[in-house]
Chain A
Amino acid sequence: QKEVEQDPGPLSVPEGAIVSLNCTYSNSAFQYFMWYRQYSRKGPELLMYTYSSGNKEDGRFTAQVDKSSKYISLFIRDSQPSDSATYLCAMRIIQGAQKLVFGQGTRLTINP
């Protein structure tokens, strides 16, 4: 079993739709959770990070963490064609090295 599971998609939605991206994890020691966005032929860029369970909002993006269920989500409201990219969840434990463990990535396309 992989430490982090993410539905690879692809996911295609019309412009303006609400998008939900999800990851599950098996290691209860994970405490920091992040979402990265990766455009084609580019490196991942940090979109959001969160530490505690609950919601964190940043503009059109909301990150949600449920540690009891080992489940994290990223919601995109009013999706735009420019949001088309691969979205990677990532997480790590608190102590020790800063190694991030990534999910497989979900490829998202927003259709105009």
Chain B
Amino acid sequence: EAGVAQSPRYKIIEKRQSVAFWCNPISGHATLYWYQQILGQGPKLLIQFQNNGVVDDSQLPKDRFSAERLKGVDSTLKIQPAKLEDSAVYLCASSSFTGVVYGYTFGSGTRLTVV
């Protein structure tokens, strides 16, 4: 089974620029998550999709962050404009069950540095 694919692996941008991250979940996984992991901290959920609908985006800074999941498969997360405090690893994860928890499968993440 192929894992969760993310790109790019690394990105360096200047503050106020925009950036986009891409995620391809495990085939057949209906639920997709974007987490933000700041250095030295645990991952924090930004947004959760069930197929192509949003289940939870309560911690997504909607003034600058947006995400979409077209056709219930791939997803993109965008930041516009970026701030210094957005420097973090952005992790995508997917899972196959909604009612029974077996944990997620995470991708390797995109490491964003805002200078």
Contacts and interface: CB of A to CB of B under 8 A. Distances in A.
Contacts of A101: 45
Contacts of B87: none
Interface string A28-72: 000010101000011111100100000000000000000000000
Contacts of B82: none
B14 interface: no
Categorize the interface residue count of chain A: 20 to 34
A42 to B, nearest CB: 5
A25 interface: no
B42 A104 contact: yes
Interface stretch (A14-22, A77-85, A91-99): A91-99
A43 B103 contact: no
A90 B103 CA distance: 9
Given A97-B55, A105-B41, A42 B48 contact: no
Interface size class of B (residues with CB under 8 A): 20 to 34
B95 interface: yes
With a 10 A CB-CB cut-off, give which of B40, B101, B109 has the most chain A CB atoms.
Answer: B101
B25 interface: no
A99 B41 contact: no
B91 interface: yes
B107 A43 contact: yes
B42 A49 contact: no
Contact of A99 (B48, B103, B108): B48
A41 B109 CA distance: 8
Nearest to A47: B103
B43 A102 contact: yes
Given A43-B106, A92-B101, A97-B56, A102 B44 contact: yes
6 contacts: A42-B109, A43-B107, A88-B42, A100-B103, A100-B104, A105-B40
Interface of B: 4, 31, 33, 40-45, 48, 55-56, 91, 93, 95, 98, 101-109, 111
Interface of A: 4, 6, 8, 32, 34, 36, 41-46, 49, 88, 90, 92, 97-105
